[in-house]
Amino acid sequence: MTLFIILFMFSFVGTWIVRRYAYHMALVDYPTHRSSHDIPTPRGGGIAIVISFYIGLWWTHSLLPSPLVAALWWGVPVAIISWLDDRYTLSAKTRLIVQAISVVGALWALQLNLSLVIQFILLISMIWFINLYNFLDGIDGYAAMEAIIVAIALILFFSPLLGMILGVSVLGFLFFNWHKASIFMGDVGSATLGFWIAVIVVYSLPQGHFVMWLIILSLFWVDATVTLLRRLWNREAIFQAHKKHAYQRLVQSGWRHDQVVIAAFVINSIFLILLYYFNEMENYILSINLLSMIMILKWIEEKKGFI
């Protein structure tokens, strides 16, 4: 318990320090027509999450599976390049190269006995999820909320220790990121969180947790994937910033950031409860989950169209 309190305080105090540093270095996001915030806000607070998490991982590495620990450490290059991107705005190509190197390293560390074709599919999927998570960090508290849901799922189904480390590391930051946020996590937070979650999902695949993760992460991957496909269909520049994700359009329709985040947390919690008590029926739960995602997207479309 002492370790978790230390990690929480490190994340909390670290975020406060980064916030002051960001103002001093003019590391600030200014509102544009594509922004969901309306005041200049410092970014890069996710570095506190990263450092806190890795302190916890280092402290408890002997209590966790060695391949998983080694794979998670491959997130350091992603964190570094993302922090540099927050400061200097690097090219997408540079970021993708470093992400690919980290994912290859993580797959090697996980020691999965899979064919090259399957590992290539995992490589592409993990890189997509890293960037997907970054895309979904567009309103106050949303990406942090999803990470806490993942932490709760880890506690319930997979690794309570790793779940607690992740959860307290994010929670310390969330105090500053709750609406209205006084700091954003930046790419250093969202991309690294995306990497960690992708690694955890891939590591747990041989244990039969794939459907569970599809359900738990559905709000993110369904929204991001549907939005990307629709933008491709419309022949839009997919690397250009936009406000067309479902959660962003819900904010545009009049919902506050915190209302969207709380609603998402409730939806995720319902499916977590269903999985916990009816785990043997996860395929049926997945069907209900996907139907719910379709209904939610349709409802949001009626409130704010894809324009």
Candidate from 93-107, 111-125, 165-179 with smallest mean pLDDT: 111-125
Structure confidence at residue 247 as a pLDDT band (50, 70, 90)? very high
CA dist., res. 64 & res. 13, Å (int):
27
The number of beta carbons lying within 10 Å of the beta carbon of residue 54 is 18
Largest CA distance in the chain: 53
Task: Tell me the pLDDT band of 36, cut-offs 50, 70 and 90.
Answer: low
> How is the chain split into domains, by residue range?
2-303
pLDDT number for residue 246: 94
Question: What's the confidence (pLDDT) of residue 30?
Answer: 77
The string of DSSP codes covering 72-129 is: HHTHHHHHHHHHHHHHH---HHHHHHHHHHHHHHHHHHHT----HHHHHHHHHHHHHH
Contact (CB, 8 A) for 166 and 282: no
Whether the CB-CB separation of 143 and 137 falls below 8 Å is answered with yes
Answer yes or no: pTM beyond 0.75. yes
What percentage of the chain carries pLDDT values higher than 70? 97
Mean pLDDT value across residues 265-294? 96
CA dist 225 and 7 (Å) reads 34
pLDDT reading at 119 higher than 80: yes
Average pLDDT of 107-117?
A: 90
Tokens of 53: 């998490």
Condensed to tens digits (0 to 9), the pLDDT of residues 176-230 reads 999 888 999 999 999 999 999 999 999 998 888 899 999 999 999 999 999 999 9
In this structure, which amino acid lies at residue 279? N
- pLDDT tier at 32, thresholds 50, 70, 90: low
pLDDT for 29 equals 74
**pLDDT value at position 124?**
96
Are 137 and 189 contacting, i.e. CB atoms less than 8 angstroms apart? yes
Residue 239: the pLDDT is 72
Average pLDDT over residues 145-174: 96
The predicted pLDDT at position 235 comes to 85
- Phi/psi of residue 86, each to 5°? -60, -35
pLDDT of 241:
75
Omega before residue 180 within 30° of 0, cis = yes
The answer to whether 106 touches 74, Cβ cutoff 8 Å, is: yes
Q: If pLDDT is split at 50, 70 and 90, which confidence band does 133 have?
A: very high
